[in-house]
Structure 1
Amino acid sequence: MTQPPVRDKTFFGHPRGLATLFGTEMWERFSYYGMRSILVLFLSAPAIRGGMGLSETTAVGVYGVYIASVYLLALVGGWMADRLFGPRKTILYGAIVIMCGHLSLSIPIGGAAVWLGLVLVALGSGMLKPNIAALVGELYRHEDDARRDSGYTVFYLGINLGAFVGILAVPWLQEGDRWHLAFGAAAVGMAVGLAQYVLGRRHLGGVGEEPDHRLTPAERRRFRAILAISLPSVAAALALWALTGTFTIDRFSLVLAIATAAVPVIYFVFLFNGSHEITPQERTRLSAYVWLFIGAAVFWLIYDQSGSALTLFAQNNTQLDVMGFHVPPGWINNVNSLAIIFLAPVFADVFLKAGDRVSAPLKFAVALLLVGLSFVVMSVASGIAAGGIRVSIMWLISVYLIQTIGELFLSPAGLSVTNKLAPRAFGNQMMGVWYLAISLGDAIGGQTYRLTRVVPMPAYYLGLALAAIVAGIALMMFARRIRALMGEGESQPAELTG
């Protein structure tokens, strides 16, 4: 008797390994977004309420640098996977470090534990995020772009499902100034994600087990020498700065923001001029990627102010009592997560059917126009609030809905195009480069909030809105030329010109 063919289990029609990565990222995002939803409120709360007692502008600056560091260190995490451990081990180590960071935040012993916790969460996130996204792409290495885009959109659904539950649970636990209990919930979430990853790694097959380009013995010696010099040098510089009496958290966040902005410039110069492992064709594609990178940075500059400027607006200027129920300020961030949970499958299906007819540059352009429109709405809302009126919660809900649609155009496409255009020798690092665009936007966005000391809030929001709209129009005008550089057109021009 003939046995029926054995069919491999799938996950919503996708490889079974996607379920492992989906679940791990979901719980990591639970911990990350849950903690992030209360971070600015905790930093700016007075000490009598258990907070850090920072001014709002300093708290937003610290928040911006912290978020930027999470994504900046993704470049380091990608390098570690490419050269040292391989993606799978780097993800494992990153999850452990993240959990330790949240545990440090949950200990109510003062400022030192808070700063240590933020450092550990940023470092661990940098190790985990680019590599888990790269492994998703590896599951579709031999499949078409539309199917890979669809897989990334399903993966993105997991991100936002975790974010939704985290933003629901952590701010609720924080009510009554129970900050450290809330941070502890984030640690538990990461522990669940870590366990899920360990138990589900067998479904990944042989993907990501070894580094693609392990360091040679000579390169290892050089790497150790660099660490032996650079780490003590940085520590000594910080100690000397502290001894001068001019060190402040505000100034330190500004220095870190400037350093963050310099990193992408240095890294792209290296990719174009310093690495002989990249072919001429790969460099041509990278030149297209630079334009998409800039557009993404502008998008995230505005979008990621949801956890800082918009959360403070919710706390200080929004009517949060709805039908007799008080809405915690952090909960409004969940409009984005909830909308993506419902809209992501729709967009995945639409983009799958559209195939290559809707290009990545066009998706980026639409996203920029939408995020710009969202801050036009914020400009109007803040103008109303300037009169001392608490505005309806519907203003913020509409802002988040507009931004969510923009995010669905840009973020899955950004992950996919990064995987597609990455030089083979820098596959995991290029996922770090994608997150570097987020880092650049967050670093600048955290510092632009300083302008609110001298610029009215309506003008602040409107100025950022116009910058995004101009960038979106520019990308739309040059979309065909960028596609040619990506190798999707009939020719591949050497440069992008008007």
Structure 2
Amino acid sequence: MKNDNQNFRSIPQKGFFGHPKGLFTLFFTEFWERFSYYGMRAILLYYMYYELSEGGLGIDQGKAMSIMAIYGSLVYMSGIIGGWISDRLLGGTRTVFYGGVLIMFGHIVLALPGSITGLFVSMALIVLGTGLLKPNVSNVVGDLYSKEDPRRDSGFSIFYMGINLGALIAPLIVGTVGQEYNFHLGFSLAAIGMFLGLIVFIFTKGKYLGSAGSTVPNPLTKGERKTVFTRFGIGAVIIIIIGALTIPTGIMTINVFTMIISILGIIIPTAYFIVMYRSNKTTDVERSRLLAYIPMFIAAIMFWAIQEQGSIILALYAEERTNLSLAGFELQSSWFQSLNPLFIVFLAPVFAWLWIKLGKSQPSTPKKFSLGLFFAGLSFIVMILPAAINGTDTLVNPLWLVLSFFLVVLGELCLSPVGLSATTKLAPSAFSAQTMSLWFLSNASAQAINAQIVKLYSPDTEILYFGVIGGVSILLGVILFAASKKIHTFMRGIN
């Protein structure tokens, strides 16, 4: 306890809206990181499938959508690696810094006129960099406060606002420049955004963060280092050899790679559940809670599968099926990517107030998940109406897209923060950190599955596509709602 007190005394505890000054550092680091990521993502799909004469790469549209999904999946999977590196090798702050550097170089590669090879090099750098930065910057926020500090939840709320503000303005700025002038100029703005985040981090961390994130919680011993680095080296050599043998011969195509990642997206979380359930460290009560967690995890995969299509299918819909003129004002298709964070910024406080207001009368966790699935499904069902009314040969009113994004955000606020809370409460104590990684894998799994599903979309299949996926989500929501009492029993006293 003495060491903990010494650590907190090294952190300036006032200075940023009544919170530790370090929150300023992390708020703006994450603000600019999210600006760079969501700015890049707002125009990446268009860059991939636009013809070479239009400044794009000329990739087949279905393949481009599949690559977008796999990219998102790998970003979430890489968080497991970032968490391990922080816990065993570098500590939080150093891992965040190196992650930011990799992200910046990834955007720089995209900013340079290049080829498909440059695209994949950029993606690899951003996947690794985001995996290092994203989970660890949140952990460092937690290090600013003691466990009993009443400002803790409020601090995370302020930090969460930084995430969404960065995601909100990025498509408006990067999207406009990328689509109006040049894709590479847009990507350069994303690189500048991450550079600004690094500048804030470097010049304020020493003064504001103190010892937060500086320690390595579970450092490798000398013997472990040798074993781990040997295994990493062998693994890297094997991957290089497989790539050298399969890529030039045409065995490892983009389609084959996306299929492998899609399969891993299902196998990895399944293996996690099996290991935790069969472990001797898991008690009978914890096994029961783990069984209760499984249907909610499946529900989360279904939800994210719809929500994450906002940057793929709905981005394509905005570009090719939407009338981009509203009340005499010309819109950019990339601007619709700002709707999700915009609605979250305004509605998150409303939902927080609502759950407090309802108190013990609020829906149980499984019922909140079922509401999330209902709204997600409804966000796709409403997209049937324009095609059903006017066919798929005419451009639709942009307000249909606004409505779809609004509905899915209602679902997100019913499911996402509730899922984080449920994960911390239902996790076996011996696997608490790994179960949180498992929660983020629900998004990775969803996007891995999306990589195969999005290929099925076209104007000809539009009604069937939105109808089937939206209908399945609503059906799963109804089943989850009906089974909520039984699931609640397995939760063993957890609400």
Query: When the two structures are aligned, how many residues end up with a matched partner?
Result: 482
SS of the residue corresponding to residue 456 of structure 1 reads helix
CA distance in structure 2 between the aligned counterparts of 1:465 and 1:191, rounded to whole angstroms: 40
Aligned twin of 2:421: 416
Deviation at residue 98 of structure 1 after TM alignment: 0.9
SS of the residue corresponding to residue 175 of structure 1 reads helix
Deviation at residue 130 of structure 1 after TM alignment: 1.8
1:345-367 Cα deviation digits (max 9, x unpaired): 33333334555654433332211
Aligned twin of 2:477: 472
Deviation at residue 141 of structure 1 after TM alignment: 6.4
1:170 aligns with 2:191: no
1:221-257 Cα deviation digits (max 9, x unpaired): 3222221222121222222222333443233222222
CA distance in structure 1 between the aligned counterparts of 2:244 and 2:13, rounded to whole angstroms: 57
Aligned twin of 1:58: 63
Deviation at residue 93 of structure 1 after TM alignment: 1.6
Aligned twin of 1:348: 352
Report % sequence identity: 38
* Closer, same or farther: CA 312–439 of 1 in aligned 2, 3 Å: same
1:308-339 Cα deviation digits (max 9, x unpaired): 11011111111001233321111012122222
1:363 aligns with 2:368: yes
Residues 392, 460 of structure 2: 8 Å contact kept:
no
* Closer, same or farther: CA 149–232 of 1 in aligned 2, 3 Å: same
CA distance in structure 2 between the aligned counterparts of 1:483 and 1:136, rounded to whole angstroms: 32
* Closer, same or farther: CA 288–222 of 1 in aligned 2, 3 Å: farther
Of the three residues 288, 293, 298, the one matched with 1:294 is: 298
Moved more, 38-47 or 475-484: 475-484
Moved more, 77-86 or 50-59: 77-86
Residues 61, 447 of structure 1: 8 Å contact kept:
yes
* Closer, same or farther: CA 366–19 of 1 in aligned 2, 3 Å: farther
SS of the residue corresponding to residue 133 of structure 1 reads helix
Deviation at residue 480 of structure 1 after TM alignment: 4.3
1:488 aligns with 2:493: yes
Aligned twin of 1:339: 343
Aligned twin of 1:46: 51
Of the three residues 367, 382, 400, the one matched with 1:377 is: 382
CA distance in structure 1 between the aligned counterparts of 2:146 and 2:79, rounded to whole angstroms: 22
CA distance in structure 2 between the aligned counterparts of 1:13 and 1:473, rounded to whole angstroms: 44
* Closer, same or farther: CA 488–142 of 1 in aligned 2, 3 Å: farther
CA distance in structure 1 between the aligned counterparts of 2:16 and 2:302, rounded to whole angstroms: 34
Moved more, 359-368 or 398-407: 359-368
Residues 150, 348 of structure 1: 8 Å contact kept:
no
CA distance in structure 1 between the aligned counterparts of 2:489 and 2:213, rounded to whole angstroms: 31
* Closer, same or farther: CA 81–282 of 1 in aligned 2, 3 Å: farther
> Where do 5+ consecutive residues of structure 2 fail to align?
1-11
SS of the residue corresponding to residue 471 of structure 2 reads helix
Of the three residues 439, 451, 457, the one matched with 1:452 is: 457
* Closer, same or farther: CA 130–478 of 1 in aligned 2, 3 Å: farther
Residues 150, 349 of structure 1: 8 Å contact kept:
no
Q: Which letter maps to 1:350?
A: L
* Closer, same or farther: CA 281–216 of 1 in aligned 2, 3 Å: farther
- In the TM superposition, what are the counterparts of 1:213-224 in structure 2 within 5 Å? 213-224=218-229
SS of the residue corresponding to residue 142 of structure 1 reads coil
Aligned twin of 2:399: 394
Of the three residues 111, 114, 138, the one matched with 2:119 is: 114
CA distance in structure 1 between the aligned counterparts of 2:177 and 2:467, rounded to whole angstroms: 35
Residues 425, 494 of structure 2: 8 Å contact kept:
no
Q: Which letter maps to 2:26?
A: L
Deviation at residue 402 of structure 1 after TM alignment: 0.8
SS of the residue corresponding to residue 383 of structure 2 reads helix
* Closer, same or farther: CA 269–200 of 1 in aligned 2, 3 Å: farther
| Higher RCO, 1 vs 2 (CA within 8 Å, ≥6 residues apart) | 1
1:398-431 Cα deviation digits (max 9, x unpaired): 0011111211222222333334445566555444
1:270 aligns with 2:275: yes
Q: Which letter maps to 1:78?
A: G
CA distance in structure 1 between the aligned counterparts of 2:350 and 2:406, rounded to whole angstroms: 15
SS of the residue corresponding to residue 393 of structure 2 reads coil
Aligned twin of 1:496: none
Aligned twin of 2:128: 123
* Closer, same or farther: CA 354–148 of 1 in aligned 2, 3 Å: farther
* Closer, same or farther: CA 303–106 of 1 in aligned 2, 3 Å: same
Moved more, 481-490 or 313-322: 481-490
CA distance in structure 1 between the aligned counterparts of 2:291 and 2:224, rounded to whole angstroms: 28
Aligned twin of 1:320: 324
What is the TM-score when the length of structure 2 is the normalising length?
0.88
What is the TM-score when the length of structure 1 is the normalising length?
0.87
CA distance in structure 1 between the aligned counterparts of 2:44 and 2:217, rounded to whole angstroms: 37
Residues 163, 334 of structure 1: 8 Å contact kept:
yes
Deviation at residue 46 of structure 1 after TM alignment: 0.7
CA distance in structure 1 between the aligned counterparts of 2:159 and 2:421, rounded to whole angstroms: 11
Q: Which letter maps to 2:187?
A: F
Deviation at residue 167 of structure 1 after TM alignment: 1.0
Residues 148, 416 of structure 1: 8 Å contact kept:
no
* Closer, same or farther: CA 103–428 of 1 in aligned 2, 3 Å: farther
Deviation at residue 16 of structure 1 after TM alignment: 5.1
Residues 167, 338 of structure 2: 8 Å contact kept:
yes
1:42-63 Cα deviation digits (max 9, x unpaired): 1101111121111111010000
1:79 aligns with 2:92: no
Residues 131, 431 of structure 1: 8 Å contact kept:
no
Aligned twin of 1:494: none
Residues 153, 344 of structure 1: 8 Å contact kept:
no
CA distance in structure 2 between the aligned counterparts of 1:404 and 1:224, rounded to whole angstroms: 43
Aligned twin of 1:95: 100
* Closer, same or farther: CA 165–264 of 1 in aligned 2, 3 Å: same
CA distance in structure 2 between the aligned counterparts of 1:407 and 1:288, rounded to whole angstroms: 20
Of the three residues 198, 205, 209, the one matched with 2:202 is: 198
1:31 aligns with 2:36: yes
1:85-117 Cα deviation digits (max 9, x unpaired): 222322222111111111111111322222111
> Where do 5+ consecutive residues of structure 1 fail to align?
1-6, 491-498
